[in-house]
Every structure is written in structure tokens, then in C-alpha cells.
Amino acid sequence: MSAPKRFAGSASAQQVLEFSRAFLDGQPGRCVVIKTFLDETGVHEDAEMVAVAGYLSSPKIWRDWTKDWNRHKRNVPAERMPIKVFHATDCANFRGEFEGWTKEERDAYVAQLLPVMPAHELDGIVVGVNLRDFTAALKPYPELLEMFGTPYGACFQWAVSIIVEIASNHGNGQRMAFVHEVNDYKGEALKAFDYIQKYLNPRGIPMTMGFGSKADYPPLQAADVLAYEGGKFLKNPTGKLRRAWTALDSDKTRIIARRYAKDNMSELIRLTKAFREKLLAQGWDGKLVA
């Protein structure tokens, strides 16, 4: 695995193209941006749902998306300062750059901004785990918890492995660069990524893992929006859809959304047991790659 990369500065659309190519080591391929969402307070013991979301696309499409995103991001009310870095939680809770905004201003702003995502060829995925149900269901299975590490590790492995599986079954073997936001999950992400490369990449697709910030690499702002809205959607996928979620997946074909909660946690346990036995038969030591 290539060493993690990180860029500084406020990225323009052209810089995003250059950064994307750098993440791909100058090879043809796709960049996948990854973001985590913790529901409620964002503190582990208080959160109900943890979700990991990602968008993938080519460097040129990320360049065009960034140009469009930056243009719409500047469409703020006349008396408001332009938004520099879009944070979904700040927008939802009138914090940070959205402090002092009215609900009417915020809603109108978001309504013209979010359609930028489906306007470009971005493929999205969001997976989530209900933390309480996950902890209760896996308590009798410490060997499965050893595989996952944490609920975040489970979501990260799940999201990335789905992307790799799709690429293996339908892609042409081009390189993929995963770009994760710099946060407290960096160590877990690297460990899970190594595990995926070793055990969940049957075609040996070249993959790298990089890190950056939403300011340095604006596509991470797209992942931030998807993680926030995807986490809200996965809490109650059969309930009334939020307008923001409908805007992101307007034709219901661009986003893969999957969750595990009380109603299907037994299926997660069954699949994980079977997969663990398969790996052990292949000589795996029962732990995530160190």
C-alpha cells in the first residue's frame, strides 16, 4: 500500500484534478472519497447509528464537480458570508459558518446546492450499523468482534468491500484510490484497508489509501453530505424521506444504501461466521492485519 498522502491549501477544480491523479499515482482509475457519520451527539456512547459513506468517480469528473460545487456554494443570501467548507452537521444545526442563518435561508441554500451531486457521474454508497443492536447481537461472539474491531471498522470494511466487489465483477481492473478524511479513525481505517487488500480483493486490483481534509480535497465535502443524509436515512429507511436525501438520489439509481439493525442482525452474524470459517481454512490467524 502506498504511503498516505495529504495536501494543504484551498483546492480549486484544477487542483482537485491534480490531487486526484496524484492519489492514483498518475495511473488511470477512480478516486473514492470516504466519510463517517455518528448520529445524535457524535460521541460513541451516545450515538445510535454509525454510517460510512463514499462517492467514487474519475479525476476529470471530480474536477468538473468541484467547479460546479464551488459555484453553487457561493450562492448565499446577500447579507451572508460565502461558505468556504460545507459541513453537513454545521448546516443542519446552524453552527460554524452557518451560525446566525435562518431556517428559510438555510433550506433555500441547501435546495440549490445538493442537486450538484446527481448532476455528475458520481456513484454513491452508504452503509450503517445500529450501534446498540450491533453491540447486543455480537456480545456472545467475541471472535466476530475481533474481525470487525469496532462498529466503525465493520462499516468501513463493508463499504469498501462492496466497492471492490463491484469493481472486481464489472470493472476493468483499473486502480482505485480511497481518500479518507483525516480524523480519529485513521488507524482503524488503515488496518481495515490492509485486511481488505489481503482477503477481499480477489482480482488484485491496485488500491491506495490517502488522507486529506474537506478544505484540501473538496470531494470529501460530497462524502460528508452523503454520510450525514445517509445516516439519517438508514435510521428509518421505510419512513418519510428527507427532502435532502431525495435530492441526492433523485432517480433512485445512484446510491447503494444498506444497513444492519435488530431486524437483520442475525444475517450479519451468519454471513460473518461463514466468511470467518472460509478465511481460517485458508490459513488466516483470526485477526485484522496488523
CATH number of domain containing 184: 3.30.420.10
- Is 155 among the domain residues? yes
Rounded to an integer, what is the distance from CA 118 to the centroid of its chain?
Answer: 16
* Residue 113 domain flag: yes
Q: What is the pLDDT of residue 198?
A: 86
- Helix residue ranges, H only, the chain: 13-23, 59-73, 88-93, 103-113, 131-138, 142-148, 151-170, 186-199, 219-235, 243-248, 265-281
Q: Could you read off the pLDDT tens digit of each residue along the chain, which spans 290 residues? A: 443 444 433 578 999 999 999 999 999 999 999 998 876 434 445 568 889 999 999 999 999 999 999 999 999 999 999 999 999 999 999 999 999 999 999 999 999 999 999 999 999 999 999 888 888 888 898 888 777 777 888 889 889 999 999 888 888 889 999 999 988 888 888 988 998 898 889 899 999 999 999 999 999 999 999 999 999 999 889 899 999 999 999 888 889 999 999 899 998 889 888 888 888 887 777 665 44
pLDDT given for residue 39 in this prediction: 65
**DSSP classification of residue 98:** G
Asked whether residue 4 is domain-assigned, the answer is no
Write the CB contacts of 27 (distance below 8 Å, at least 6 apart in sequence).
174, 175, 206
- Sign of the Cα pseudo-torsion (143, 147, 153, 159, in order): negative
Any domain includes 6:
no
Number of domains in the chain: 1
Please tell me the distance from the alpha carbon of residue 19 to that of residue 42, in angstroms, as a whole number.
30
Q: Would 220 be classed as within a structural domain?
A: yes
pLDDT at 42: 40
- Domain extent, residue 125, equals 13-281
* CA distances in angstroms from 118 to 55, 197, 245, listed in the order given: 11, 30, 11
Give me the amino acid identity at 251.
D
> What pLDDT does 10 receive?
56
- Evaluate whether residue 170 is within a structural domain: yes
> What pLDDT was estimated at residue 121?
95
Q: Is residue 8 part of a domain?
A: no
Is there a domain that residue 288 lies in?
no
Question: In DSSP terms, which residues pair with 36 in a beta bridge?
Answer: 52
pTM, whole model, 2 decimals? 0.89
What is the pLDDT, as a whole number, of residue 18?
94
